[in-house]
């Protein structure tokens, strides 16, 4: 317990959640050369960032304890306030509106617990609606397989295996990432003017997101 307390103190947590910009920043983006240039990171900063990341991962592996807040605190200590703010802005842009289902991000745009439930409801409803055609296709396939099996236990077992394989193929044929993107866009449509303005402010000046495809570009 003492070791854990000391570790928290060294990370600047002391039982408290880190500042918003720290929690909301994707520190993995710091490995991208375009982000490093945007933040105007010095060679010394990049070295310290990599060392902090390596040290955190080694400790987390040793203790079998992974905590994104602790990792973010350890790494973002290498940034100044303006660099951290810009990293958070780029992180929000890269995540897109789906990040608004995260409670502390929703709170930042002025969405209280009730609004957070509404936002999550909109997201889930959109996903469920998009899944309906796939579910109908699977249900139809299952009915056909069971009819073919008749009442023979061996045939039912054989067809059950076929059902599992076919259901998996049907699921794999669907673009689940696209479902999420469309559901995330639905969230934007539910935002109030003040929430939308706060969301835009969190993203800051547009960053060319196509440059984030290769996170290892700086290595």
Query: Do 85 and 117 lie in a common domain?
Result: no
Closest of 94, 92, 101 to residue 213, by C-alpha: 94
Q: Looking at the domain assignment, is residue 146 inside a domain?
A: yes
Query: Do 34 and 86 lie in a common domain?
Result: yes
Residues of the chain with pLDDT under 50: 1-14, 215-219
Query: Do 209 and 173 lie in a common domain?
Result: no
Query: Do 176 and 213 lie in a common domain?
Result: no
Domain that holds residue 146: 113-190
Q: Looking at the domain assignment, is residue 60 inside a domain?
A: yes
At residue 213, the pLDDT reads 79
At residue 44, the pLDDT reads 97
Q: DSSP of the chain, one letter per residue? A: -HHHHHHHHHHT-TTSPPPHHHHT--GGGGGSHHHHHHTT--HHHHHHHHHHHHHHHHHHHHHT---HHHHHHHHHTTS-HHHHHHHHHHHHHHH-GGGGGSHHHHHHTT--HHHHHHHHHHHHHHHHHHHHHHHHHHHHHHHHHHHHHTT-HHHHHHHHHHHHHHHHHHHHTS-HHHHHHHHHHHHHHH--HHHHHHHHHHH-S---GGGGS-GGGG-
At residue 176, the pLDDT reads 87
At residue 108, the pLDDT reads 96
Query: Do 79 and 12 lie in a common domain?
Result: yes
Count of the separate structural domains present in the chain: 2
At residue 214, the pLDDT reads 60
Query: Do 118 and 83 lie in a common domain?
Result: no
Cα separation, 200 vs 78, whole angstroms: 26
Query: Do 54 and 78 lie in a common domain?
Result: yes
Query: Do 87 and 42 lie in a common domain?
Result: yes
Query: Do 117 and 183 lie in a common domain?
Result: yes
């Amino acid at each position: 317990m003492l070791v854990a307390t000391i570790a928290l103190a060294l990370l600047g947590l002391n039982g408290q959640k880190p500042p918003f910009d720290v929690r909301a920043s994707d520190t993995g983006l710091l490995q991208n050369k375009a982000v490093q240039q945007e933040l105007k990171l010095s060679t010394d900063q990049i070295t310290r960032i990599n060392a902090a990341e390596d040290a955190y991962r080694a400790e987390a592996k040793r203790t079998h304890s992974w905590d994104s807040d602790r990792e973010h605190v350890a790494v973002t200590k290498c940034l100044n306030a303006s660099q951290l703010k810009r990293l958070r802005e780029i992180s929000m842009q890269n995540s897109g509106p789906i990040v608004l289902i995260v409670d502390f991000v929703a709170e930042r745009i002025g969405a209280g617990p009730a609004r957070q439930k509404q936002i999550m409801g909109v997201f889930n409803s959109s996903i469920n609606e998009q899944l309906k055609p796939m579910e109908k296709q699977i249900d139809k396939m299952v009915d056909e397989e069971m009819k073919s099996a008749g009442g023979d236990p061996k045939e039912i077992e054989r067809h059950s295996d076929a059902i599992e394989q076919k259901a998996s193929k049907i699921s794999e044929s669907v673009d689940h990432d696209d479902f999420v993107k469309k559901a995330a866009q639905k969230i934007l449509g539910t935002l109030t003017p003040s929430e939308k303005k706060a969301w835009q402010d969190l993203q800051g000046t547009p960053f060319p997101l196509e440059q984030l495809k290769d996170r290892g570009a700086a290595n």
